[in-house]
């Protein structure tokens, strides 16, 4: 389960790296934008050209890891582990499909003017994307230092 502190952190970052693996343990990572962050699940949007491997990996293995790092400032990093509960797409989502996601994602980038974030999101909305739902099983502090790897969330 994600704590309020971790939810706030993830929402403030906007995007993360989604890590998967194939049946023969070949890893892959791609960028993912947060669509929803809740205590027991997270939803992300992955542009199809970055996540072309996702359908094969989902068929082979539903285990995933999502790593979020604040590369400026204190380098706080959080790793969320879980299983893919749903993988939709790739398809072009229009504004009616992603209205709430669109508005939520703009707020995830407080360091940038909303109109700049909106321009990037419009480009993403206009390209095929995967919508991935992940059920959270574990959460770890991955901030560099002596506590790296410590559990900061328990299984549900």
- Using alpha carbons, select from 95, 71, 60, 94 the residue that is nearest to residue 17: 71
Comparing 99 with 135, the larger pLDDT belongs to 135
**Average pLDDT of the chain, as a whole number:** 84
Read off the pLDDT of each residue in 3-18 and give the average, rounded to a whole number.
Answer: 87
Q: In whole angstroms, how far apart are CA 49 and each of 28, 124, 128?
A: 13, 11, 8
Q: 119-128: which pairs have CB atoms within 8 A and are 24 or more residues apart?
A: 121/33, 124/33, 124/45, 124/47, 125/92, 125/93, 125/94, 125/95, 125/98, 126/92, 127/47, 127/48, 127/49, 127/92, 128/47, 128/48, 128/89, 128/90, 128/91, 128/92
Domain ranges of the chain: 4-153
Fold designation for 4-153: Pnp Oxidase; Chain A (2.30.110)
- Predicted confidence at residue 13, as pLDDT, reads 77
For residue 132, pLDDT beyond 70: yes
For residue 142, pLDDT beyond 60: yes
């Amino acid at each position: 389960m994600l704590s309020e502190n971790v939810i706030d952190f993830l929402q403030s970052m906007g995007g993360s790296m989604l890590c998967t693996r194939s049946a023969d343990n070949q890893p892959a990572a791609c960028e993912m934008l947060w669509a929803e962050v809740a205590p027991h699940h997270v939803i992300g949007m992955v542009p199809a050209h970055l996540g072309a491997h996702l359908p094969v990996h989902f068929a082979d293995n539903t285990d995933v890891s999502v790593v979020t790092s604040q590369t400026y400032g204190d380098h706080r990093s959080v790793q969320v582990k879980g299983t893919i509960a749903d993988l939709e797409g790739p398809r072009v989502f229009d504004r009616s499909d992603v209205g709430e996601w669109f508005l939520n994602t703009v707020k995830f980038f407080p360091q940038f003017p909303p109109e700049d974030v909106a321009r990037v999101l419009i480009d993403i909305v206009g390209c095929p994307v995967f919508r991935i739902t992940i059920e959270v099983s574990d959460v770890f502090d991955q901030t560099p230092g002596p506590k790296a790897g410590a559990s900061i969330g328990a299984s549900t």
